[in-house]
């Protein structure tokens, strides 16, 4: 049984590497547009499934793991900021307060699909404009929902975290292991 990660994210690969199981990784190459008005939990589920299905279609007979992540604060959905200015605005909306980070993970293959959603609540420190600019200088905001990366310098933004830290890093390992075990994939 082969496992393929539908992602080229270094953070997701590092988490999966931590299990010590064999897998390969491939970019899903899908559009991330969604119908207007899609609820954040439905949106993140749709994107994780879309990524896993796209890669599974290219590799029949392989288990494909796909994931996606969105942040939400006050009903506003925050995806990956496209510019430093967008990252500044996203982070400014999160500083000194709490927000939710939703990560969906899908396992597709063998005629079956599994999907789980993990939700983490984070509270960020209020930081000075100078500190915010120093964080933006790191470039960690690129490719990250909400504009931060917890596995590096972004952890200095976090005042409190309620949930699974691996979920914040992009791949909630508790659901991943649960889904792989349910499929009979050897995880130990």
Residue 8, SS3 per DSSP: coil
Q: Measure the CA–CA gap between 80 and 41, rounded to whole angstroms.
A: 16
Inter-residue contact 101 to 154 (CB < 8 Å): no
Q: Is 17 a catalytic residue?
A: no
Q: Is 108 left (phi over 0), alpha (psi -120 to 50) or beta?
A: beta
CB 60: neighbour CB atoms within 10 A? 8
Alpha helices (runs of H) in the chain, residue ranges in sequence order = 10-17, 40-58, 84-94, 129-138, 165-168, 173-182
Which one from 68, 74, 118, 159 is the annotated catalytic residue? 68
* Largest pairwise CA distance in the chain: 52
Residue 48 CB-density burial (10 A; 0-12 exposed, 13-18 middle, 19+ buried) = buried
Q: What's 74's DSSP letter?
A: T
* Burial of residue 84, with CB atoms counted within 10 A of its CB: 0-12 exposed, 13-18 middle, 19 or more buried: middle
Cite the active site residues.
Answer: 68
């Amino acid at each position: 049984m082969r496992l393929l990660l539908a992602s080229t994210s270094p953070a997701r690969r590092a988490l999966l590497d931590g299990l010590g199981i064999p897998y390969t990784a491939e970019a899903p190459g899908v559009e991330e547009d969604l119908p207007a008005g899609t609820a954040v939990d439905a949106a993140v589920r749709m994107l994780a499934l879309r990524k896993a299905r796209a890669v599974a279609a290219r590799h029949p007979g392989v288990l494909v793991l796909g994931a996606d992540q969105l942040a939400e604060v006050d009903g506003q959905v925050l995806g990956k900021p496209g510019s430093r200015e967008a990252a500044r605005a996203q982070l400014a909306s999160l500083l000194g307060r709490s927000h939710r980070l939703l990560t969906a993970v899908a396992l597709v293959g063998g005629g079956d699909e599994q999907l789980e959603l993990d939700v983490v609540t984070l509270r960020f420190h209020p930081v000075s404009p100078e500190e915010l600019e120093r964080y933006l200088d790191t470039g960690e905001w690129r490719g990250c929902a909400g504009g931060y990366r917890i596995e590096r310098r972004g952890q200095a933004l976090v005042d409190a975290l309620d949930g699974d830290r691996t979920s914040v890093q992009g791949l909630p390992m508790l659901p991943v292991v649960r889904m792989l075990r349910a499929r009979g994939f050897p995880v130990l």
